Amino acid sequence: MSKSPHAIVVGTAGHIDHGKTTLVRALTGIDTDRLPEEKRRGITIELGFAAWPIAPDLEASIVDVPGHEGFVRTMVAGAGGIDLVVLVVSAEDGVMPQTREHINVCRLLGVAAGVVALTKIDRLGDDPEALELATDDVRGALAGTPFAEAPIVPCSAVTGVGIEQLRDTVRRIAAKLPRRDNGGAVILGVDRVFTIKGHGTVVTGTLLSGSVDVRGDESLVLVPHGPDREPFAVRARAAQVRGDTRDRVLAGCRLALNLAGVERTAVERGDVVTRGPEVARQSFVHAKLLHLPGHSPTWTHGTTLQICAGTAHGVGVLDPLWLVPSAGATGEASSSDGVEVPPGAEAIVRIRLEAPLPLWRGQRLVVRAFAEPHDDWSGRTVGGGVVLDPEPSEGRGQRPRWIALARALDHADAEVRRNALLHDAGLAGIDTDALSRRAGGDARAQLQRQIARGELLELQGGRFVLEAGLRPVVERCIALVDRFHAANPLQAGMARAALEGALEGRLAADVRALAVDRAIARGGLRVVDDFGTVARPGKGLQPGGELPGHMKSILARYLEGGLTPPTLREVGDAVARPPRDVLEMVTSLQRMGKLVRITADLSLARESHDELCSRVRTHLREHGTIDVQALKQLAGLSRKFAVPMLEHLDELQITLRQGDARIPGPKL
């Protein structure tokens, strides 16, 4: 087993029959055309791959893509993972239509490093002027693109002239490329699937980020594309890089992964192998797209295009939301019918996919026109860009919200993007996985910092809300309790359950509970008793405070009654108050702990209740059992009081019913 050095992917690009596959064979000794039809027709139809160890600490894989215009989608699938492009242009033919389209595709996919292989110079003979014209033609095609200053290396795969110079040029550029993120999310776009006898299903692709460790059968997730398919768990059993078995594979490698627990028919090109929550499978996506300059039709609400996303592709219907301003201009937001996006313009768009695609934030997209008769742009690449939000909200009437959030998600700072998502989620909250998926990167460290600063609060289920967003609900809690005190001056406070229920019905139960907790933590409310009663500081009846006159009289009646207390009606008659007021005052005395509720109509003074419990405990310790008759004799009660008293003692678990008698309970 060998250790993986720095790995990159080099991709070829260029017009059909300009010598891409022949050049790869000259550079690596490997023929990437593997299909019989490719051999027969002399063109590349499928993606081809070759190993190219260009330096001791730098290994490259070459992806040879088709040049025929009918296979551009396949070209995009291969180009999506490349770090450096070798643009192959025949010195004999010059720049051709597919040359320009491949340049555009690489530009749209964010490929910034490249070199031009000006091939077939042997066919020019000894004609320096022809070579100069061919070089100028290439330089003109590259003007205004990221490859404007790319080196141009004249060469011939037939004679070998310039091949070593091309190797050196690629080696020099590749050595300066930034390394991919080995600690990021595992993202492997599947471009081939096959079965090896005795091993099972194998998928191949470029490991765009993260690392895969097959020691211990690493658990991964396969996120499929297309309708009627759902993500499922797989295990990475073995991995190879260019035939070399690896325990651990780093980002940037062309990888063959042997999957356990999955049938060959369950995996397709376009699926994505991942580990974490970063890849979404959605029917809507928000993206920033560039409409390439040219003469293709203006994009409007309802424009339908082919969407190429990594190794997957599908059909998408555009809804332009906001026109990105050009230098010195302001952006234009959409009306209900969207904005128009002419060639050369850039816009934030909402795309409705006909079938779900596996997408992730920052993923590059290429969009192509459908084939139409008498259309110069028929079947051509017309634009592309980057995914801003792979999981946008759905529903009608949300255009202003979509625009505001999508613009915020276009920010370079991940913390700004996460805060925008937290604001957008409001009191519904958003979890860590969704933040990572929609804002990019690992959100956990930022969340912990914001929690420590008091800016963020955690709900049940790992959802988070901004403290500033919850603040109005906390103030509402306090206002409701103030109103309760004004309407119920004879009560100690408001039942917590009633307070939470009085908050707006759209709020989730855990949001209401958190708002009450925050009001208590901030000192806006106080807990009155063990029953969950809350009150404003300095308001409501205090447990040790002076009782109002009528409540004093009521408590006196219960104290006088001892173990044969009055009913609510008898209390009301004694103090000459209506039943509602009597019930309110008795309830307050219960919450204050001065009365103990036995039944809806029966209460005991705390002293009488404690005396009864003491007598029963002593009796049970001495006799081991008690029944209604024994309690009547023990406490001097009638059956009217003895039966509910025993049932109350059962509830307290002082006694445990056994037939008609009681035995000691768990809390004797």
Kindly state the helix (H) or strand (E) to which residue 614 belongs, with its residue range: helix 606-623
Structure confidence at residue 91 (pLDDT): 92
State whether 70 and 146 are in the same domain.
yes
State whether 286 and 235 are in the same domain.
no
Structure confidence at residue 70 (pLDDT): 43
pTM to 2 decimal places: 0.78
- Cα gap 539→249, rounded to integer Å: 66
What's the CATH number where 118 sits? 3.40.50.300
State whether 311 and 268 are in the same domain.
no
Kindly state the helix (H) or strand (E) to which residue 385 belongs, with its residue range: strand 381-389
What's the total number of domains in the chain? Answer: 4
Give a yes or no: residue 396 inside a domain.
yes
Structure confidence at residue 150 (pLDDT): 95
Q: Which of the two residues, 548 and 293, has the higher pLDDT score?
A: 293
Structure confidence at residue 140 (pLDDT): 95
> Of all residues in the chain, what percent carry a pLDDT higher than 90?
52
Give a yes or no: residue 73 inside a domain.
yes
Structure confidence at residue 559 (pLDDT): 93
Residues 412-418: contacts with CB under 8 Å, at least 24 apart? 414/439, 414/440, 414/441, 414/446, 415/446, 418/443, 418/446
- Strands 304-309 and 364-368 come out as antiparallel
Strand residues in 561-621 grouped as ranges (E): 595-599, 602-605
Provide the pLDDT confidence category of residue 329 given band limits of 50, 70 and 90.
low
Q: Residue 626 gets which letter from DSSP? A: B
Structure confidence at residue 542 (pLDDT): 60
> Of all residues in the chain, what percent carry a pLDDT higher than 70?
89
Provide the pLDDT confidence category of residue 75 given band limits of 50, 70 and 90.
low
Give a yes or no: residue 524 inside a domain.
no
Give a yes or no: residue 588 inside a domain.
no
228-237, pLDDT tens digit by residue? Answer: 899 999 999 8
Provide the pLDDT confidence category of residue 244 given band limits of 50, 70 and 90.
confident
What's the CATH number where 627 sits? 1.10.10.10
Structural domain for 405, as ranges: 280-410
Q: CA distances (Å), 429 to each of 422, 426, 434, 467, in order? A: 7, 6, 10, 11
Provide the pLDDT confidence category of residue 49 given band limits of 50, 70 and 90.
low
61 has pLDDT over 70? yes
Q: Which residues pair with 260 in a beta bridge?
A: 235
End-of-domain residue from the set 144, 175, 206: 175
State whether 304 and 263 are in the same domain.
no
399-437, pLDDT tens digit by residue? Answer: 999 999 999 999 999 999 999 999 999 999 999 999 999
Average pLDDT over residues 246-254: 86
User: Considering Cα of 322, then 323, then 326, then 330, what sign does the dihedral take?
Assistant: negative
State whether 53 and 125 are in the same domain.
yes
Mean pLDDT over all residues of the chain?
A: 86
- Cα gap 626→645, rounded to integer Å: 12
State whether 315 and 387 are in the same domain.
yes
The C-alpha angle with vertex 308 and arms to 304 and 309, in degrees rounded to 5, equals: 125
State whether 257 and 129 are in the same domain.
no
